[in-house]
Amino acid sequence: MKKDKAVVVFSGGQDSTTCLFWALKQFGEVEVVTFDYGQRHKQEIECAQRIAKEQGVGQTIMDMSLLNQLAPNALTRDDVAIEQVEGEIPNTFVDGRNLLFLSFAAVYAKQIGARHIITGVCETDFSGYPDCRDSFIKSLNVTLQLAMDYPFVIHTPLMWLNKAQTWKLSDELGAFEYIREKTLTCYNGVIGDGCGECPACQLRAAGLEAYEEERANNGKLL
Ligand SMILES: [Zn+2]
């Protein structure tokens, strides 16, 4: 796959940045596609731009502001508060968001002669998004092949990893510090370790703590 071209669906968050580093190891040429859908914080787009630039990969930013029209919610509207009820789909949910993003990424990928598409979706920490599930990705892969008569391969390096294992992967890729300091996961727009209070920060911090504990224990064994 070293000679192949790949496109990473890229938001500048922990997961997609881990996918970017993974793709850079696997493929000869990597580009990223970032979707601008009127995110609550412009920092998210700026953060993604900064990382793409620093890693020397081409970036295409696609205007997906129509999502705002389709599914107004807490991620895109300033006047809607973010609430997370235990065990329920968070109100940041946009129906079919990954379906749309991956379809647009595929149209673009074919145009530049890339058949590999990488996305950071994950079923392990399943947060209630049905289009993050492995069965959906496999189904979409077939659909995209049929839709465009092109041998797409969708890669999901994080599909079966928990948050601690995602940190571990970033460490194995030599990108642990970079991802910790430069990525944006926080719903309140704070880069790195974030605000510490929103659901995204809590999830990220719990995974980081679990991984650092594991790393410390391994260190002692040596
Ligand atoms: Zn936060």
What pLDDT shows up at residue 87?
A: 45
What pLDDT shows up at residue 219?
A: 67
What pLDDT shows up at residue 38?
A: 74
* 152 within a domain of the structure (yes/no): yes
What pLDDT shows up at residue 89?
A: 44
* 202 within a domain of the structure (yes/no): no
10-residue stretch averages of pLDDT, the chain, 222 residues long: 91 96 97 86 90 98 85 54 49 78 98 98 78 95 98 97 96 97 93 93 95 85 50
Q: Is 16 annotated as a binding residue?
A: yes
* 208 within a domain of the structure (yes/no): no
What pLDDT shows up at residue 194?
A: 95
Cα of 204 to ligand 1 centre, how many Å? Answer: 9
Who's near 124: CB < 8 A, 6+ residues apart?
159, 160, 161, 162, 165
* 215 within a domain of the structure (yes/no): no
Residue 116: which domain range?
5-73+84-182
* 143 within a domain of the structure (yes/no): yes
Q: Is 47 annotated as a binding residue?
A: no
* 222 within a domain of the structure (yes/no): no
* 95 within a domain of the structure (yes/no): yes
User: Residue 110 belongs to a domain with what CATH number?
Assistant: 3.40.50.620
Query: What angle, rounded to 10 degrees, do the helices at 134-148 and 97-111 form?
Result: 40
Domain count, the chain: 1
Q: Is 184 annotated as a binding residue?
A: no
What letter represents residue 197's amino acid? E
Q: Is 193 annotated as a binding residue?
A: no
Q: Is 171 annotated as a binding residue?
A: no
Cα of 202 to ligand 1 centre, how many Å? Answer: 7
